[in-house]
Structure 1
């Protein structure tokens, strides 16, 4: 994968296809390939005539691993995304983020609205504002000597995912400390671009999609039927809703 330096940090990315660019920002513990290629998102976007650009968040995938929690605030990762667009010579792009990637997308839209044509925030509802409460359990699960030592269900879920993806668990633990920083409600209201908020019907982590959409000046909500936080990622109906949203805003 190609890389570039974002404030001295090596960030990996990949470009698939041609057409209007869509930047894809993955979730915690994942990577561009796991979150977007393996789930069929890149294929769906290419088929619809879009160029898909994946970024490996700092500490993830093939990007540089960092071990200081202060390096993982969402505004810093949003800056990586903005610098990637600058590096590629892209003035403005659609952005789709999932879970942590949706939080990064929100910070990107607040700080660099001129870069974002419209955004899809998947797996992130009112948790963007209220924060999430199981960070300590996830950190403990990542730092445990073995999976057998992890008893909390959420911590165990993330440990299994990290082990399966062969992630750097120490880097992920540092990321979890600060990457869930809530966004101030006044900043949410400053997001001026169109946003589709998509959350699984049985997702007990993300919070309400409709409540977050109601705070956004140009927000709309989509509930992904019968999907939890993990299974919603590659859902066909989610992809269809997102592509339709991009089409409406491409025409606008």
Structure 2
């Protein structure tokens, strides 16, 4: 598995296919494999004629595990994406995130618009601004000895997911505590790249996609029917909508 160093932090990634590049940024407690390879995103985007780059965020997958929450500030995590693009000699790319990865993508769309052709924000709605995603209860759920010790329902969901993916739970707890800075309404309104917001209709974590769409100028909203936060990722409607959006963006 290829990797590179951003400062002292080793970041693992894949780079497949040819054509216009798209960078995929996975969600909290996930990985490039779980979020993008297993649900066939990578293969389908390659089939659609794209060069597909996907990284393991710091603290996740095959990338370095860090235990200081300060090393997971959301802008720092987003900077790993730009560093990867620099490493691969990619001047500009479409970027698609999911959940935490969408929060990173939104920062890049706002602060590095010269590097972002378009931004696809999957699994995040008005929660980008108002919060409501996994919080301290989830961090605590990751630190207890067993899933049986977790009573908070959201905490149980993320603890079970972390156990399923065999994640480093101490690194995830640090990531969660370090990356919770929200985007302001003014920052979101300042995005000047094409944006697609894609959220499952039963997602109780992301917040309203349409509410966020009313704030980001010119953004498009894709509702993923009958899918919650965890099950929307591999949905056919999501994939078709993204490929259509990419084919039409300038």
**With structure 2 as the length reference, what TM-score do the two structures score?**
0.98
CA contact (8 A) 1:100 1:180 kept: no
Counterpart check, 1:207 vs 2:210: no
**Structure 1 residue ranges without an equivalent (≥5):** none
1:137 & 1:228 partners in 2: Cα distance?
A: 20
Matches within 5 A, 1:9-20: 9-20=9-20
2:157 & 2:202 partners in 1: Cα distance?
A: 16
Match of 1:112 in 2: 112
Counterpart check, 1:233 vs 2:219: no
Match of 1:28 in 2: 28
Match of 1:68 in 2: 68
CA contact (8 A) 1:18 1:51 kept: yes
TM-fit CA distance, 1:191: 1.0
1:206 & 1:180 partners in 2: Cα distance?
A: 14
Counterpart check, 1:93 vs 2:72: no
Matches within 5 A, 1:47-196: 47-132=47-132, 134-196=134-196
**Structure 2 residue ranges without an equivalent (≥5):** none
TM-fit CA distance, 1:78: 0.8
2:134 & 2:12 partners in 1: Cα distance?
A: 29
2:66 & 2:206 partners in 1: Cα distance?
A: 26
TM-fit CA distance, 1:133: 5.5
The 1:17–1:134 alpha-carbon spacing in structure 2 relative to 1, beyond 3 Å, is closer
Secondary structure of the residue that 2:51 maps to in structure 1? strand
Which stretch has the larger CA shift, 209-218 or 121-130? 209-218
1:120 & 1:42 partners in 2: Cα distance?
A: 15
User: Number of aligned pairs?
Assistant: 250
Which stretch has the larger CA shift, 147-156 or 240-249? 147-156
Deviation track 1:153-209 (CA, whole Å, cap 9, x = no partner) reads: 111111111111111000000011122211011111111000000110010110111
